[in-house]
Amino acid sequence: MKISDRLMLGFVAGLGGNIAKLAIGTLAQRLNISEIDGPGIAAGMLTPAYKLISPEGKAVGILADSVIAGLLGVGTVYMLSITGKDKALLKGALTGQVMWQSLYGVMATMGATKVQPFSPKTVLTEFVSHTAYGTVAAAIAVKLGDDKLFTGAAPLNASPLKSVKRDAAQPQSQFNRLQKNKIRNKGDKITMTAGSCCADLT
């Protein structure tokens, strides 16, 4: 059974990709390559840095990281819907790298998380893990997603607003057609009347 809803597909793909990201981050921490993983950084967006190692802080980190992963998965699905599913793994990897740059370059600089600065090894580890995230998320999206999501058969915007506008415009178009028919009928009557007069004169 294929998933035909982009939001649901995106969250599933994002959470699947997050498993790969977490595995790399956990392994890097155990090998003392990285100082912190994704959930720790995500928790730093919501809680003070000194509470990150507490059970509550870790729970917040896992929840926040999962939500972010799901939302980014939705973005990945829409990216594939616009560009097509060919070379999906490469597109997913590039998307993951853009996410890495956005999270660690732009948002971290703006103070989105209280956990900083990061060591070069930590940043490089997150680069690898986000690349894996994007690749796996794209693979899951293509595997589980309905083909019509990536071929243009399903519109990007499924909002009823379009149909409302179309329905609102429809009575006007029907009115215009009725007016044209009335004018055409009047013209036919005038022509018939003129024809009858000419016949009477002859």
The predicted-structure confidence for 134-148, as pLDDT tens digits, reads as follows 999 999 999 999 999
Read off the pLDDT band of 188 (50, 70, 90).
Answer: low
- Say yes or no: 175 and 120 in one domain: no
Least confident range of 44-48, 81-85, 114-118, 170-174 = 170-174
- Say yes or no: 112 and 190 in one domain: no
Percentage of the chain with pLDDT > 70?
70
- Say yes or no: 90 and 146 in one domain: yes
Percentage of the chain with pLDDT > 90?
42
| 156 inside domain | no
Read off the pLDDT band of 202 (50, 70, 90).
Answer: low
Look at the chain and report how many structural domains it folds into.
2
CA distance 160 to 158: 6
- Say yes or no: 122 and 69 in one domain: yes
Least confident range of 29-43, 56-70, 110-124 = 110-124
| Residue 154 confidence (pLDDT) | 79
- Structural domain for 190, as ranges: 161-202
- Say yes or no: 72 and 105 in one domain: yes
Phi and psi at 54, nearest 5°, equal -75, 155
Report which of 141, 144, 130 is spatially closest to residue 95, judged by C-alpha positions: 130
| 114 inside domain | yes
| 50 inside domain | yes
Read off the pLDDT band of 75 (50, 70, 90).
Answer: very high
- This prediction has a pTM of 0.72
Per-residue pLDDT tens over the stretch 38-58: 888 787 777 777 777 788 888
- Say yes or no: 120 and 177 in one domain: no
| Residue 107 confidence (pLDDT) | 66
| 1 inside domain | no
Determine contact, residues 140/72, Cβ cutoff 8 Å.
no
